[in-house]
């Protein structure tokens, strides 16, 4: 009997120890939920992700070897925070992520509803073989991989990196090191054969969209509560972008200085070719002023900062509620003759037919690096744009300042409506006669990203913190 009791006691101890061990292991490595698939390493063959599963990116996931990643409408992909998950489409590979209005594709945080933040995971990076002004094998920002998988560039401006349509990218932009973050959606030398349409980047920990060279054309872009810049162009980007909106929150800005547009030719501001010459039309930039915050983050800067010899052009757009308006910044190269104000004077850069409202908190609706440059750019800008320091976003857009409940006080909670007020200054007057707009743009009457049609309705979401994302296919 004593022996039997001893054996029973030993069995209980072993059972309890086993339970304790399993509990500890599950705390450290919780079991995967049903229908969840972890993805890591390289995808070297054509791969399909379907909406009946949830996919979790562990570390940098590279699509390589000229493979295509197909993602079905309604699929949920989560970026793992602990491993800084990210998706990288390498040169020669493709992404085919085509959602629908009713079933968008969602890239989001692996953190549970209620606790998600900007910078929870990496983001989506497309690398192509188009031209940039740094070389044909350039490391992309935010990726530490020193092999060819993390590089972009080539000579084919018509290169095709695939299709992204009706896609949300939420809570991305994790910092790999100081000033080395991944953006929500990053383009490295992506060619014009690529299709980018109806993309929302929500609460990115760095820029919402950044283009490093390339010639990709993009339409219907939403940048909601970005941490740094909304639309950032560098290294010879020459694509065309139409119908894009940025909505900012008063408290959210980066120590590096947050802008609606930020544009460089390159870091040195030299005359490397191709020169950054992207053309934007029908953009709406809603800055922090008027967004309902009790105070404006001091790190907010300009509705558009055009610097370092960039020749970007912006037409038919609305910039409202920034602390400062349009800045042609000639600080780099120091003392040089190559500069952004010179590009405006020469017509390589055009800023025309835009509305700049309520962007004068620092008495800088138009700003330049020095008095000489200001004397050159100010009359050119004032002659072909409307600057009104008193006009508000509410006079142009239906209900532009609504936010997620975890971001603002009750009075501001809700779904924004960015459609234009019929009688407003933005409802008409857009023009497409400039030579830079004669190809690749849709001619519309209104200025800004939205006319009377709310093209964000159905697929975009402005309060994803409330979405569980625990059931495959449940993207709303």
pLDDT of amino acid 290? 87
For residues 196 and 218, is the Cβ–Cβ distance under 8 A? yes
What pLDDT digit, counting tens, does each position of 290-302 carry?
887 678 999 999 9
Q: What are phi and psi of 175, to 5 degrees?
A: -85, 120
Of the listed ranges 169-183, 253-267, 322-336, 347-361, the one predicted with least confidence = 169-183
Residue 5 has pLDDT above 50, yes or no: no
20 in any annotated domain: no
Reported as a pLDDT band with limits 50, 70 and 90, residue 335 is confident
pLDDT of amino acid 320? 98
pLDDT of amino acid 175? 81
Residue 27 has pLDDT above 70, yes or no: no
What pLDDT digit, counting tens, does each position of 242-274 carry?
999 999 999 999 999 999 999 999 999 999 999
Reported as a pLDDT band with limits 50, 70 and 90, residue 147 is confident
Bond into 333 cis (ω within 30): yes
Token look-up 């001619």 returns 443
For residues 262 and 235, is the Cβ–Cβ distance under 8 A? no
For residues 302 and 325, is the Cβ–Cβ distance under 8 A? yes
471 in any annotated domain: no
What pLDDT digit, counting tens, does each position of 437-446 carry?
999 999 999 9
Residue 2 has pLDDT above 50, yes or no: no
Q: What is the DSSP letter of 30?
A: P
pLDDT of amino acid 11? 37
354 in any annotated domain: yes
Q: What is the DSSP letter of 361?
A: T
pLDDT of amino acid 32? 67
User: Model-level pTM?
Assistant: 0.93
91 in any annotated domain: yes
What pLDDT digit, counting tens, does each position of 401-438 carry?
999 998 887 789 999 999 999 999 999 999 999 999 99
Mean pLDDT of 235-243: 98
Mean pLDDT of 97-108: 98
Q: What angle do CA 457, 462, 463 make, to 5 degrees?
A: 130
User: What's 150's domain CATH number?
Assistant: 2.160.20
**How distant is the alpha carbon of residue 167 from its chain centre?**
12
pLDDT of amino acid 145? 74
Token look-up 């339409």 returns 219
Residue 368 has pLDDT above 80, yes or no: yes
Total domains in the chain come to 1
Token look-up 């509305």 returns 355
Beta bridge partners of 98: 165
pLDDT of amino acid 219? 98
pLDDT of amino acid 410? 79
d(CA 161, CA 91): 8
Mean pLDDT of 355-381: 96
pLDDT of amino acid 452? 98
The two tokens of residue 438 are 């004669």
Mean pLDDT of 221-250: 97
216 in any annotated domain: yes
pLDDT of amino acid 30? 52
- Distances in Å between the Cα of 458 and the Cα atoms of 101, 248, 455, 463 are 5, 21, 8, 13
312 in any annotated domain: yes
Neighbouring residues of 86: CB distance < 8 A, sequence distance ≥ 6 = 57, 59, 60, 61, 79, 121, 122, 123, 124, 125, 142, 143, 172, 174, 182
Reported as a pLDDT band with limits 50, 70 and 90, residue 110 is very high
Residue 177 has pLDDT above 80, yes or no: no
Class of residue 16 by CB neighbours under 10 A (exposed 0-12, middle 13-18, buried 19+): exposed
pLDDT of amino acid 178? 65
What pLDDT digit, counting tens, does each position of 338-349 carry?
899 999 999 999
- Nearest CA to 292 out of 392, 360, 221 is that of 392
4 in any annotated domain: no
13 in any annotated domain: no
pLDDT of amino acid 7? 37
What domain range includes position 437? 33-466
């Amino acid at each position: 009997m004593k022996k039997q009791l001893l054996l029973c006691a030993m069995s209980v101890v072993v059972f309890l120890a086993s339970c304790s061990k399993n509990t500890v292991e599950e705390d450290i490595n919780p079991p995967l939920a049903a229908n969840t698939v972890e993805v890591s390493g390289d995808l070297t063959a054509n791969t399909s992700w379907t909406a009946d599963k949830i996919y979790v990116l562990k570390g940098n996931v590279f699509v390589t070897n000229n493979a295509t990643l197909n993602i079905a409408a309604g699929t949920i992909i989560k970026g793992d925070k602990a491993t800084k998950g990210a998706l990288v489409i390498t040169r020669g590979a493709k992404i085919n992520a085509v959602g629908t209005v009713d079933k968008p594709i969602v890239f989001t945080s692996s953190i549970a509803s209620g606790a998600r933040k900007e910078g929870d995971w990496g983001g989506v990076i497309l690398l192509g073989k188009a031209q940039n002004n740094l070389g044909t094998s350039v490391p992309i920002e935010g990726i530490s991989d020193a092999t060819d998988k993390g590089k972009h560039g080539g000579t084919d401006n018509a290169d095709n990196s695939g299709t992204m349509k009706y896609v949300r990218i939420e809570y991305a932009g994790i910092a790999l090191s100081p000033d080395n973050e991944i953006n929500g959606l990053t383009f490295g030398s992506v060619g014009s054969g690529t299709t980018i349409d109806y993309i929302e980047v929500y609460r990115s920990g760095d820029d919402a969209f950044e283009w490093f060279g390339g010639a990709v054309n993009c339409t219907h872009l939403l940048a909601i509560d970005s941490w740094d810049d909304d639309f950032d162009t560098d290294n010879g980007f020459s694509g065309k972008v139409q119908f894009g909106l940025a909505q900012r929150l008063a408290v959210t800005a980066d120590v590096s200085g947050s802008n609606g547009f930020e544009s460089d030719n390159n870091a040195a501001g030299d005359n490397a070719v191709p020169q950054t010459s992207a053309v934007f039309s029908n953009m709406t930039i809603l800055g922090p002023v008027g967004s309902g915050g009790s105070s404006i983050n001091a790190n907010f800067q300009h509705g558009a900062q055009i610097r370092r010899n960039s020749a970007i052009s912006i037409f038919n757009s609305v910039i409202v509620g920034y602390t400062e308006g349009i800045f042609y910044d000639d600080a780099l190269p120091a003392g040089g003759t190559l500069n952004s104000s010179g590009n405006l004077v020469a017509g390589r850069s055009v800023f025309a037919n835009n509305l700049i409202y309520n962007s004068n908190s620092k008495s800088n609706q138009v700003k330049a690096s020095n008095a000489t440059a200001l004397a050159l750019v100010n009359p050119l800008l004032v002659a072909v744009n409307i600057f009104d320091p008193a006009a508000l976003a509410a006079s142009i857009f239906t209900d532009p300042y609504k936010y997620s409940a975890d971001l603002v006080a009750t009075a501001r909670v809700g779904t924004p409506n960015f459609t234009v007020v019929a009688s407003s200054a933005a409802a008409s007057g857009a023009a497409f006669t400039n030579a830079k707009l004669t190809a690749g743009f849709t001619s519309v009457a209104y200025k800004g990203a939205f006319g009377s049609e709310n093209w964000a309705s159905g697929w975009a979401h402005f309060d994803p913190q409330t979405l569980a994302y625990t059931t495959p296919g449940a993207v709303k």
